[in-house]
């Protein structure tokens, strides 16, 4: 199953594509990824953010992103973050 299997056909979907160039250093790709995370956390009205990748064990940097823009959470600013193993082509 892909990373975000729990959503719905009536929902608006925003696909944020970060630059993940093959041959680029993993560190650069990581920074690009965090740019997308930063955008996801600041977009209004978002319920769920889904990412197809594993994360750092010491993910303090990532955890700082996993809230809305530093304000006290409200019903409209809380969002669920999903990250898990990806589905790969050719597998169920």
Partner 1 sequence: MPSGTENVSYSSGAIIASVVAGQSSTSDQTLTWATTGNVPPGLKLKIIKGTPELTGKPTAWGTYSFSVSVTDVKNYEGTQPFQVTISPAVTFTPLPATASLTLRGGSSSQADTVLPNGVAGTPYSPQTISVTSNSGISLSVTSNSGISLRKPGTKSWNGLSVTLTASNTVIIKGTPKTFTNPTLHKKGSSGDPLELTVTAFTDDNKFSDATTYLINVEPASSSSPVAIQVDYDQTTYNDFPTAATAGQPYSATFVTPTGTGFQFSLMNSSAVTSLGMTFDAALATLSGTPSKPGLYNLVVQAKNVTSGVVESCVFHLTVNPSSPSSDPGITPTPSSGFTPQQIRQAYGLDQITLSGGIIGDGTGQTVVIIDGGDAPNLVSSNDPNYDNSDLHQFNQQFGLPDSPFFKEDAFGGTNIPTSVGDVGETTQDVEWVHDCPRRHHHPAGV
Q: Which residues bind partner 1 (CB under 8 A)?
A: 1-27, 29-30, 32-33, 35-37, 39-40, 43, 45-58, 60-61, 75-76, 78, 80, 84-89, 91-92
Instruction: Tell me how far, at minimum, the Cβ of 71 lies from partner 1, in Å.
Output: 15
Judged by CB, which is closer to partner 1: 26, or 70? 26
Instruction: Tell me how far, at minimum, the Cβ of 43 lies from partner 1, in Å.
Output: 6
Single out the residue of 3, 2, 46, 37 nearest to residue 18, CA to CA: 37
Distance (Å) of CA 82 to CA 21, 22, 66, 86: 23, 24, 10, 11
> How far is 77 from 70, CA to CA, in rounded Å?
10
């Amino acid at each position: 199953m892909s990373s975000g299997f729990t959503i719905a056909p009536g929902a608006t979907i925003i696909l944020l594509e970060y630059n993940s160039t093959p041959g680029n250093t993993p560190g650069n790709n990581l920074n690009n990824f965090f740019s997308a995370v930063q955008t996801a956390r600041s977009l209004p009205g978002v319920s769920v953010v889904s990412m197809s990748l594993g994360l750092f064990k010491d993910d303090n940097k990532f955890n700082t992103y996993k809230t809305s823009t530093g304000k006290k959470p409200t019903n409209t600013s809380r969002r669920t973050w999903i990250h898990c193993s990806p589905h790969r082509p050719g597998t169920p």
